[in-house]
A = this chain, B = another copy of it.
């Protein structure tokens, strides 16, 4: 059998999986990423995962190792720059170093881009030539598929839809700008906004679910309340979808693309969120765009990181 190893590199853990060329996840393992030590330590951990898997799949042929990494991945396809929360890491040839340690073909891609390639090869984007994938989590990640390939831009950093300004007077974002969509709907900002608004919504079920402790606020709680028909919770998703829709409409107009795939934890809010995103785009995008707008749920969800990384080799 031919197989691919997909590596989802995170600040705390590395998740590695064995994936078939058709995108089936056959085996999964995880180990600490040692991001707090050094880039070389991280490569050591990736190599360890690869060796473990090669041992287990002796007799089968490894096609290559795909790595989805935080930070910016250079156009050379292997140098990772400034991954947040990785110690002593400015620019490091992750691809080359991993090949040295493992002897395998290695492809490295920014994790948001890898997620988009995963959907393109194995998920909701199969058969599509152009779409924007957004991943709603702590941040708002973006991967743009144009003409069947990742759109990389001048230095490989394209697709940063999280840092699209939707209100120039808006809240301060982690990136230093004011009014990024991420500063409205990134998990932390979202929870903060809801905590603030809850004060004027004592009737909301959310208060019960968190026992009045706003530290416990997370998207899952808001969704639980929304599912039970809580008006305020539904309004939160409607507002969140509006913010996202504003940024996506701008991106659609710029790229002349009309299909959006939405993944990540916050996407679990489902219908109330998706309806609001769609409504907003249809209200705000240019006529030629809104006529053909489609919003799709990401399909790879829980294993998106590993499958997206593996898809880099399946290309």
Taking A158-B256, A159-B256, A178-B284 as given, write out 11 further A-B residue pairs in contact, using a Cβ cutoff of 8 Å, ordered by the A residue number.
Answer: A153-B257, A157-B256, A160-B286, A163-B250, A165-B166, A165-B246, A165-B249, A167-B167, A167-B179, A177-B283, A251-B254
Given A130-B154, A256-B154, A288-B72: A166 and B168 interface contact (C-beta under 8 Å): yes
Given A166-B165, A177-B249, A250-B250: A256 and B156 interface contact (C-beta under 8 Å): yes
Rounded to whole angstroms, the CA-CA distance of A159 and B256 in the bound complex is: 8
Q: Does A155 contact B (CB under 8 A)?
A: yes
Q: Does A1 contact B (CB under 8 A)?
A: no
Taken residue by residue from 174 to 185, chain A's Cβ proximity to chain B (1 for < 8 Å, 0 otherwise) reads as 011111000000
Q: Does A255 contact B (CB under 8 A)?
A: yes
Q: Determine the chain B residues whose CB is within 8 A of the CB of A251 once the complex forms.
A: 254
Q: Determine the chain B residues whose CB is within 8 A of the CB of A256 once the complex forms.
A: 152-160
Q: List 28 A-B contacts (CB under 8 A).
A: A72-B288, A130-B153, A142-B254, A144-B254, A151-B255, A153-B256, A153-B257, A154-B256, A155-B256, A155-B288, A157-B286, A157-B289, A160-B254, A160-B286, A163-B250, A163-B253, A164-B250, A164-B253, A164-B254, A165-B250, A167-B167, A167-B168, A168-B242, A175-B287, A177-B249, A177-B284, A178-B284, A254-B254
Nearest first, the 3 A-B pairs at minimum CB distance are A153-B256, A158-B256, A157-B256
8 Å CB contacts to B: which residues of A110-162? 129-130, 142, 144, 146, 151-161
Q: Determine the chain B residues whose CB is within 8 A of the CB of A151 once the complex forms.
A: 255
Q: Does A43 contact B (CB under 8 A)?
A: no
Rounded to whole angstroms, the CA-CA distance of A160 and B280 in the bound complex is: 18
Interface residues on A, range: 35 or more
Q: Does A169 contact B (CB under 8 A)?
A: yes
Taken residue by residue from 249 to 266, chain A's Cβ proximity to chain B (1 for < 8 Å, 0 otherwise) reads as 111011111100000000
Q: Does A81 contact B (CB under 8 A)?
A: yes
**Nearest chain B CB to A249's CB is how many angstroms away?**
7
Closest B residue to A159 by beta carbon equals B254
Q: Determine the chain B residues whose CB is within 8 A of the CB of A144 once the complex forms.
A: 254
Q: Determine the chain B residues whose CB is within 8 A of the CB of A246 once the complex forms.
A: 165, 168
- Taking a contact as CB atoms under 8 Å apart, the answer to whether B288 and A81 are in contact is yes
Central interface residue in A161, A169, A256, by most chain B CB within 10 Å: A256
Central interface residue in A130, A164, A243, A254, by most chain B CB within 10 Å: A254
- Taking a contact as CB atoms under 8 Å apart, the answer to whether A146 and B153 are in contact is yes
**Nearest chain B CB to A7's CB is how many angstroms away?**
24
Rounded to whole angstroms, the CA-CA distance of A153 and B257 in the bound complex is: 6
- Taking a contact as CB atoms under 8 Å apart, the answer to whether B154 and A129 are in contact is yes
Taken residue by residue from 33 to 76, chain A's Cβ proximity to chain B (1 for < 8 Å, 0 otherwise) reads as 00000000000000000000000000000000000000010000
